[in-house]
C-alpha cells in the first residue's frame, strides 16, 4: 500500500475472530481504509454494531431469515443490505482492493474464489480454499493475477522470510506447532480427554473446532497442505517441529545453513496487519517481545504415534486428487462428534483414517467447485456413518 493511499477493504466473515481482529486494526487507522462490504453468517447483532460503527457500503447476513433484522438494525443509515449465499458472493465481487477471506469452512469457497477471479488481493484465512481446492484456486490466481496473502500465523511467517524468487536456495520450510494441551500427555490420558480439556489451548484463544485440531495436531497437517500450495518447494522440503512457546511462528532454512525465523507474541493481529498493509507495515497494539523475560525457546519432534493426524495429512497430500478434501471433511465431522461427546478424542484420527480408506478407491479428482462440494458431501456422510458405528 503506497504511503498516503487509502485502501478499499471487504471483510468476509467480519464477526468471527479473524474478522473482529481485522476490524480492530482498521478502526485504529480509519483514515487509511474504506470499507466496501462486511459479511456474517448468523451473528446479526454484531454485524449491525460493526456496520453502524464503521459504515461499510454493503452489509450482508448469510442467513436469509435474518434479513429483516439486519435491515431494521441499519435503518436510518445509507448502508445497502443483503442476505443469503448469493449476496455474500456479491460482496466479494464488489470492487475492493483487498479482501479478508475469513469465512470458516466450505461456505467460504465460492466467495473467496469470486474475489480471486476478479484479481483482488486476498488475505487468506480460510483453510478449505487450499486444503480442499488448492489446485483450482492456484489456477484461478494465475489466470486472474490475484495476490494471495496468507494470514495463518505460520504461513504469514514464512511469507515474511521466504525468498520467493530463489526457491532453489531453500533447504527446508519448517512449520512450528505449539503441541496443544496434550503435548506431554500419555495415550491413556488422551483416550480419556474431555472436550473441555481439548479446547483449553495453552497459548492461543481460538474457537472450539480449531482448538481441537490443535490438540490432535490436525491443524498442522492442514497447514502442511496449505504450505505445499502457497510455497511450491515440494512436500519433502516441508517439516514440522513442536515449539510450545509459540514465539517462533515458522522458519525457512537455506542451502547455505542460514535459518530465518519470524518471531512475535501469539496475537493474530500481527499477521493480519502484515497482510492488511502489505507491502508496507502498520503499527499494532500487540505485545512486544522481551526475549530476556521469555528466557528460553524449546523444540522437539512431533510424536507420530500419539499424533497420527500429521501422517494422515501428509499421506493425503501425497495422494492428491480428492484425498485432501476427504481429509478435511471427515475431520470436521469427527471433531464435531467429539465435542458432542459421541466419540473419544483418539477416535477423531481413527475416523478420519477410515474415511480416507473408504474414499481412496472411488473419489474423483475435483475439476471445479461442484466437484469439491460433492466429494465433501459424500465424505461427510461416510464420516457420520463411522461416528455412528463408533458410538454404538
Of 96, 119, 150, the one marking the end of a domain is 150
Q: Which of these, 7, 29, 19, 28, lies nearest to 49 by C-alpha position?
A: 19
Are 48 and 92 members of one domain?
yes
Distance CA 182, CA 201 (A): 9
- What CATH number does residue 41 fall under? 3.40.50.720
Are 187 and 142 members of one domain?
no
Distance CA 185, CA 181 (A): 8
The confidence score (pLDDT) of residue 1 equals 47
Are 120 and 77 members of one domain?
yes
Distance CA 40, CA 337 (A): 25
Distance CA 157, CA 175 (A): 9
Cα distances from 185 to residues 44, 130, 198, in angstroms, run: 40, 31, 11
Are 35 and 132 members of one domain?
yes
Distance CA 246, CA 153 (A): 10
Are 21 and 138 members of one domain?
yes
Query: Is 1 inside any structural domain?
Result: no
Distance CA 213, CA 220 (A): 8
Are 241 and 349 members of one domain?
no
Cα distances from 183 to residues 87, 275, 306, 376, in angstroms, run: 43, 30, 9, 30
Distance CA 249, CA 262 (A): 6
Query: Is 96 inside any structural domain?
Result: yes
The confidence score (pLDDT) of residue 200 equals 83
What is the domain extent for residue 212?
154-266+297-303
Of 150, 183, 208, the one marking the end of a domain is 150
Are 329 and 390 members of one domain?
yes
The confidence score (pLDDT) of residue 208 equals 82
Are 125 and 170 members of one domain?
no
Query: Is 281 inside any structural domain?
Result: no
Distance CA 126, CA 130 (A): 8
Residue 116: how many other CB atoms lie within 10 Å:
28
Q: Is the peptide bond before 72 cis (omega within 30 degrees of 0)?
A: no
Are 137 and 65 members of one domain?
yes
Of 103, 126, 150, the one marking the end of a domain is 150
The confidence score (pLDDT) of residue 262 equals 97
Q: Number of structural domains, the chain?
A: 3
Residues in the chain: 392
Distance CA 112, CA 122 (A): 8
Q: How far apart, in Å, do the first and last CA atoms of the chain sit?
A: 56
Query: Is 229 inside any structural domain?
Result: yes
In sequence order, which residues have a C-beta less than 8 Å from that of residue 114 and are 6 or more positions away?
89, 92, 93
Query: Is 62 inside any structural domain?
Result: yes
Three-state DSSP at 300 gives strand
The confidence score (pLDDT) of residue 132 equals 92
Distance CA 224, CA 309 (A): 11
Are 58 and 77 members of one domain?
yes
Greatest Cα pair distance, the chain, in angstroms, is: 62
In sequence order, which residues have a C-beta less than 8 Å from that of residue 261 and are 6 or more positions away?
157, 161, 248, 249, 250, 251, 252
Three-state DSSP at 219 gives helix
Are 136 and 181 members of one domain?
no
Query: Is 287 inside any structural domain?
Result: no
Residue 166: how many other CB atoms lie within 10 Å:
10
Give the predicted TM-score (pTM) of the model.
Answer: 0.93
Query: Is 159 inside any structural domain?
Result: yes
Query: Is 138 inside any structural domain?
Result: yes
Mean pLDDT for back-to-back runs of 10 residues, the chain (392 residues): 77 96 96 97 98 97 98 98 98 97 92 97 94 94 97 96 96 96 95 92 70 94 97 96 95 98 94 97 94 94 96 95 95 96 96 94 82 94 94 73
The confidence score (pLDDT) of residue 282 equals 96
The neighbouring-strand residues paired with 122 are: 99, 148
Are 195 and 262 members of one domain?
yes
Amino acid at each position: 500500500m503506497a504511503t498516503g493511499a487509502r485502501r478499499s477493504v471487504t471483510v468476509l466473515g467480519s464477526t468471527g475472530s479473524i474478522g473482529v481482529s481485522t476490524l480492530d486494526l482498521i478502526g485504529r487507522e480509519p483514515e487509511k481504509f474504506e470499507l466496501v462490504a462486511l459479511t456474517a453468517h448468523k451473528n446479526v447483532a454484531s454485524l449491525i454494531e460493526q456496520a453502524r460503527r464503521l459504515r461499510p457500503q454493503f452489509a450482508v447476513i448469510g442467513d436469509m431469515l435474518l434479513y429483516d433484522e439486519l435491515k431494521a438494525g441499519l435503518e436510518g443509515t445509507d448502508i445497502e443490505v443483503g442476505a443469503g449465499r448469493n449476496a455474500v458472493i456479491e460482496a466479494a465481487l464488489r470492487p475492493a482492493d483487498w479482501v479478508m477471506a475469513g469465512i470458516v469452512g466450505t461456505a467460504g469457497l465460492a466467495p473467496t474464489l469470486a474475489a480471486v477471479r476478479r484479481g483482488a488481493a486476498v488475505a487468506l484465512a480460510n483453510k478449505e480454499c487450499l486444503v480442499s481446492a488448492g489446485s483450482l484456486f492456484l489456477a484461478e490466481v494465475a489466470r486472474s493475477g490475484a495476490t494471495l496473502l496468507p494470514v495463518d500465523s505460520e504461513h504469514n511467517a514464512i511469507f515474511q522470510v521466504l525468498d520467493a524468487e530463489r526457491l532453489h536456495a531453500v533447504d527446508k520450510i519448517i512449520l512450528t506447532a505449539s503441541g496443544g494441551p496434550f503435548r506431554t500427555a500419555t495415550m491413556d490420558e488422551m483416550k480419556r480427554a474431555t472436550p473441555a480439556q481439548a479446547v483449553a489451548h495453552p497459548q492461543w484463544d481460538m474457537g472450539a473446532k480449531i482448538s481441537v485440531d490443535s490438540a490432535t495436531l490436525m491443524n498442522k497437517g492442514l497447514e502442511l497442505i496449505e504450505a505445499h500450495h502457497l510455497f511450491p518447494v515440494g512436500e519433502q522440503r516441508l517439516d514440522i517441529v513442536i515449539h510450545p512457546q509459540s514465539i517462533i511462528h515458522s522458519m525457512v532454512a537455506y542451502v547455505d545453513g542460514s535459518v530465518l525465523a519470524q518471531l512475535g507474541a501469539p496475537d493474530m493481529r500481527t499477521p493480519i496487519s502484515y497482510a492488511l498493509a502489505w507491502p508496507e507495515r502498520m503499527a499494532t497494539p500487540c505485545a512486544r517481545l522481551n526475549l530476556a523475560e521469555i528466557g528460553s525457546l524449546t523444540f522437539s519432534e512431533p510424536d507420530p504415534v500419539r499424533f497420527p493426524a500429521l501422517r494422515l495429512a501428509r499421506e493425503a497430500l501425497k495422494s492428491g486428487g480428492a484425498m485432501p478434501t476427504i481429509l478435511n471433511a471427515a475431520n470436521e465431522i469427527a471433531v464435531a462428534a467429539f465435542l458432542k461427546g459421541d466419540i473419544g478424542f483418539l477416535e477423531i484420527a481413527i475416523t478420519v483414517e477410515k474415511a480416507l480408506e473408504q474414499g481412496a478407491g472411488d473419489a474423483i479428482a475435483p475439476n471445479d467447485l461442484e466437484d469439491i462440494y460433492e466429494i465433501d458431501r459424500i465424505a461427510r456422510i461416510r464420516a457420520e456413518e463411522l461416528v455412528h458405528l463408533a458410538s454404538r
